[in-house]
Structure 1
């Protein structure tokens, strides 16, 4: 039996308290932290344990959540994703995704995004997904283009870090564009 949360390479699952070590390893690379979000102050091992425990015991929501990305072959956490900017009225949402340095360029991100979009479009009735990507993150822009996202605009000098302002590229995909490439499963 397969789960809607299983792709071909990854499984999306809740964050467990024992996942804290994986997230601590991911945060050791400032460039990776910056590509996903921003650089946070150092956290102790106890802080990571508390963070993972808090995520594991957080009440579930159908639309706004944070999940671990687990490799199906190795059964280890390779990254995480979270939904954001939920707009039920307009039928749109966004997400953020990060894959640990040792697991990048292996197809985990694209597989996780497809699993997420199938759920949000096919089960939660959303119409559009939009993402904002730092303009210097060419790998993420290319990934999203391959998944069918369209460039919708650019926010100039929108975010500040590393001593200067950076552009953000806005990309989006509708359910029709997504299902043209990735049909929703039959019931």
Structure 2
């Protein structure tokens, strides 16, 4: 019997104070920051450490949390994911994921998303997961399509990034659709 937080390639775990340096390195890559959300102001070492310390003791409220993504083979921190926009009444939630550039195209993101969806659908009884993906981010769009997400809409010129407006593509998958594709073995 294993942990539901361990997949084929990654382990989802809480953020630890000692993770601060790796997260600071991720934050120094503006393209990765932009793909995940938006470019943030630089943080000092002290502020990065404080952020990690606060995240390490933050209690999840309303099923909103952030987790570190760790590669199983190397026990290396490769990224993070978080839930947001949770609605128990409507049975849906949103999430975001970011993987450090050095760890792209290794299957870490898809493994992490599958673990998250198994938890949110199978343990928390949510009905639908949603993700907003910038229209230029073909890798993320392909990932979500591969996992079974459907494009549900496109908000044109919705976000301002890198000197221009970009579309936000709304992707969604239901618990039933997920179960049909990702039966736990």
Same fold (TM over 0.5): yes
Q: Structure 2: give runs of 5+ residues left out of the alignment.
A: none
The change in CA–CA distance for 1:87 and 1:62 in structure 2 (over 3 A counts) is closer
1:46 equivalent in alignment to 2:46: yes
Structure 1 stretches (4+) deviating beyond 3 angstroms?
none
CA distance in structure 1 between the aligned counterparts of 2:120 and 2:59, rounded to whole angstroms: 19
Once superposed, what is the RMSD of the aligned Cα atoms?
1.0
Q: TM-score, normalised by structure 2?
A: 0.97
> 1:82-93 residue pairs with structure 2 within 5 A?
82-93=82-93
Deviation by residue 1:96-137 (Cα, 9 ceiling, x = unmatched): 000001111000000000000000000000000011100000
Count residues with an aligned counterpart.
185
Quote the residue 1:151 is aligned against: 151
Q: Map 1:36-75 onto structure 2 (within 5 A).
A: 36-61=36-61, 63-75=63-75
Q: Distance in 1 between matches of 2:60 and 2:129?
A: 21
Compare 52-61 and 166-175 and name the one that shifted more: 52-61
The 1-side partners of 2:42 and 2:94 are apart by 27
TM-score (norm 1): 0.96
Structure 1 spans left out of the alignment, 5+ residues: none
Give distance in 2, aligned partners of 1:62 and 1:34: 26
SS in 2 for 1:170: strand
| Matched position secondary structure for 2:22 | helix
The DSSP-based 3-state class of the residue aligned with 2:32 is helix
Aligned to 1:174: 174
